[in-house]
Amino acid sequence: MQLPDAAPAKAEGLMDWRAGRFSFDVGPFARPLVMGIINVTPDSFSDGGQHFGLPAAINHAERLLAEGADMLDIGGESTRPGAPPVPLDEERRRVLPVVEALAARGACISVDTRHPAIMREAIAAGASIINDVQALTAPGAIEACAAADVGVVLMHMQGTPGTMQAAPSYEGEGGVVGEVNRYLRERAHVCEQGGMARSRIVLDPGFGFGKTTEHNLELTRRLNELVALGYPVLAGWSRKRTLGELTGRKIASDRVYASVAAALTCVSRGARIVRVHDVTATVDALRVWGAMASHLGQA
Ligand code: 7PM
């Protein structure tokens, strides 16, 4: 297969990620981008599980934007290991009102979904990015995204959320890094063949999705190899279980310092976007890193 040549853009440090009406500089000298996480699952903003609290979600979103988030990722289906699937109607009810309200305020909104129907409806409601932990493998998902001008995040996952952490294993050429990078490169090419511009695509190794602690660490140590494929890379380490294992922190919200360290490590290996719960902590750390990293000059 003939691959598109991204060399001129890379050589000049000119690289934009196009996402709806937004365009983000993701070149090597740009400030790393922060994607703030808004979970709209009943365990996050519920008032007992029956009525999902729209005002609470909006408040949280406003706070993350004020703290410096460049975009917000709205997710209504828990992809936690072992989580049962959420009915489509339920995901729709949780996600769409939040997308509509926040997009109307001018924010860049990403929607974390695997379902083409939700993708289409979210785009109609104003979403600029589709973030898919299944890398647009559902039938009709590429078409739903290609028909609009949204940015897409293609993530690698081994197995399904229900079974992925049972026995993660990577036996192929190059181990976990070889398999993840081959998969993502292939998915990007399938998306491009489906009519999506290369400049709309971001790749994500999917930390914690069918990976052991050692797999997650290996993917991070060698993240530069994924970056070398030429697409912007997004890293999602925030509060994840491997950080709990490394620090002994059993409670996810106690993993803020660990998450910041992981985000900085990924950025120093070439990630251009970090997906985080704790925006202030991440933004401060990235500012200091940016001022001190020798190749970036003044912040
Ligand atoms: C419960 C456990 C709820 C774990 C949610 C999660 C990523 C993502 C998620 C990621 C991209 C979380 C995960 N993780 N999308 N969605 N990359 N692109 O920890 O790493 O947020 S859900």
Name the DSSP letter for residue 15: -
Q: Grade residue 213 by pLDDT with cuts at 50, 70 and 90.
A: very high
Q: Whose CA is nearest to atom 17 of ligand 1?
A: 236
Q: Which residue has the tokens 């001129």?
A: 8
Please classify residue 267 by burial: count the beta carbons closer than 10 Å to its beta carbon, then call 0-12 exposed, 13-18 middle and 19+ buried.
Answer: buried
Please tell me the distance between residue 44's alpha carbon and the centre of ligand 1 in angstroms.
14
CA distance 256 to 136: 30
Predicted pLDDT at 161: 83
**pLDDT single digits (tens) 27-51:** 988 999 999 999 888 766 544 444 4
∠ CA(115), CA(120), CA(126), 5° rounding? Answer: 120
Ligand 1 within 6 A of CB of 78: yes
Q: Which residues are catalytic?
A: 240, 275
Ligand 1 within 6 A of CB of 206: yes
The DSSP string of 194-247 is TT--GGGEEEE--TTSS--HHHHHHHHHTHHHHHTTSS-BEE--TT-HHHHHHH
Mutation probe of ligand 1 site: the residue of 17, 79, 237 with most atoms within 8 A of C-beta: 79
Q: Are 20 and 128 in contact (CB under 8 A)?
A: yes
Buried b or exposed e, range 167-199, using 16+ CB within 10 angstroms: ebebeeeeebbebbbebbbebbeebbeeebebb
Predicted pLDDT at 1: 47
Q: Grade residue 12 by pLDDT with cuts at 50, 70 and 90.
A: low
**pLDDT single digits (tens) 269-294:** 999 999 999 999 999 999 999 999 86
Q: Which regions of 117-196 does DSSP assign to beta strands (E)?
A: 129-132, 151-155
Q: Grade residue 3 by pLDDT with cuts at 50, 70 and 90.
A: low
- Would you kindly state where each structural domain of the chain is located, as residue ranges? 28-298
Q: Is the pTM of this model over 0.85?
A: yes
Ligand 1 within 6 A of CB of 126: no
Please tell me the distance between residue 9's alpha carbon and the centre of ligand 1 in angstroms.
30
**pLDDT single digits (tens) 150-196:** 999 999 999 888 888 888 999 999 999 999 999 999 999 999 999 99
Buried b or exposed e, range 231-260, using 16+ CB within 10 angstroms: bbbbbbbbbbbbbbeeeebeeeeebbebbb
Ligand 1 within 6 A of CB of 134: no
Please tell me the distance between residue 189's alpha carbon and the centre of ligand 1 in angstroms.
24
**pLDDT single digits (tens) 124-149:** 999 999 999 999 999 999 999 999 99
Instruction: Measure Cα distances from 107 to 67, 103, 104, 119 in Å.
Output: 13, 5, 7, 17
Q: Whose CA is nearest to atom 4 of ligand 1?
A: 80
Ligand 1 within 6 A of CB of 156: no
Q: Is the dihedral of CA 143, 146, 149, 155 positive or negative?
A: positive
All residues at 6 or more sequence positions from 87 whose CB lies less than 8 Å from its CB, including other chains: none
- Mean pLDDT of the chain, nearest integer: 91
Fold (CATH) for 28-298:
TIM Barrel (3.20.20)
Ligand 1 within 6 A of CB of 77: no
Quick check: 4 pLDDT over 70? no
